[in-house]
């Protein structure tokens, strides 16, 4: 999974932790049975147990998310997302906000597995329909669209709105800058990405994005400096070969 998708879920992972506490405090019927199934049973059997437990909770949507959090804690994001998708049809959401939070959670869960990117996009789209001004959804949805070469114009619109709602956040500036990069608007991208680096100088990914943008306008020295900084910050994460080759070609 790319660092970009991990970065977008930092706040969300804290939410997972709070849901684990919720799940433990409520002690849904069959908790031990679920953990045993996760460790010993096949995927469908795990989903069956999860469905039974989720429907016994006091709060419809929260019970489902608490059960999904257990699956996530055991590294089964695939089952968590499938479970949440299946259960959505049976939930009586109290209001649009609760429905939006639910689908945002599904999207965030999907982001923990690089193979579930399309599921994340679908979930965020539903979350956005319910909560059109949720800055987390706007940023995450827009960033993934940009990072996966999706609709770059939509990615910009989403990330721009996130920046308007929460101005000055390095993560959001990076997302908008990356969308601008995908649109080929490199000067504007650099402006956002420079501000993002200033706000979060320890993010290798922001520096990588800035290096890529510099390379496009033939700022070779600046591109190489930022790429080298990114590599020092996360030597095992940065896939520098393609960008380094592009920088070298532009000499």
Please tell me the pTM assigned to this model.
Answer: 0.85
pLDDT 10s digits, 127-179: 999 999 999 999 999 999 999 999 999 999 999 999 999 999 999 999 999 99
Question: What is the rounded average pLDDT of the residues 44-58?
Answer: 79
- Give the per-residue pLDDT at 176: 98
How far, in Å, CA of 187 to CA of 49, rounded?
A: 53
Tell me the domains of the chain and their CATH numbers. 1-132 (1.25.40.10), 138-251 (1.25.40.10)
């Amino acid at each position: 999974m790319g660092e970009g998708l991990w970065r977008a879920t930092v706040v969300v992972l804290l939410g997972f932790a709070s849901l684990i506490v919720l799940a433990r405090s409520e002690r849904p019927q069959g908790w031990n049975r679920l953990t045993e199934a996760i460790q010993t049973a096949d995927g469908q059997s795990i989903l069956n147990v999860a469905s039974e437990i989720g429907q016994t909770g006091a709060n419809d949507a929260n019970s489902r998310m608490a059960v999904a959090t257990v699956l996530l804690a055991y590294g089964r994001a695939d089952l968590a997302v499938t479970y949440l998708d299946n259960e959505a049809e049976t939930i009586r959401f109290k209001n649009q906000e609760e429905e939006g939070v639910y689908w945002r959670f599904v999207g965030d869960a999907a982001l923990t597995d690089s193979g579930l990117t399309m599921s994340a996009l679908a979930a965020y789209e539903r979350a956005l329909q319910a909560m059109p001004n949720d800055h987390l959804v706007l940023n995450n949805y827009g960033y993934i669209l940009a990072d996966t070469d999706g609709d770059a114009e939509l990615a910009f619109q989403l990330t721009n709105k996130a920046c308007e709602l929460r101005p000055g956040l390095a993560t959001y500036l990076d997302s908008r800058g990356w969308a601008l990069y995908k649109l080929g608007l490199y000067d504007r991208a650099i402006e956002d990405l420079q501000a993002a680096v200033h706000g979060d100088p320890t993010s290798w990914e922001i520096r990588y994005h800035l290096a890529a943008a510099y390379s496009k306008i033939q700022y070779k020295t600046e591109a190489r400096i930022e790429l080298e900084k990114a590599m020092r910050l996360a030597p095992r994460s940065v896939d520098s070969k393609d960008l380094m080759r592009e920088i070298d070609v532009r000499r």
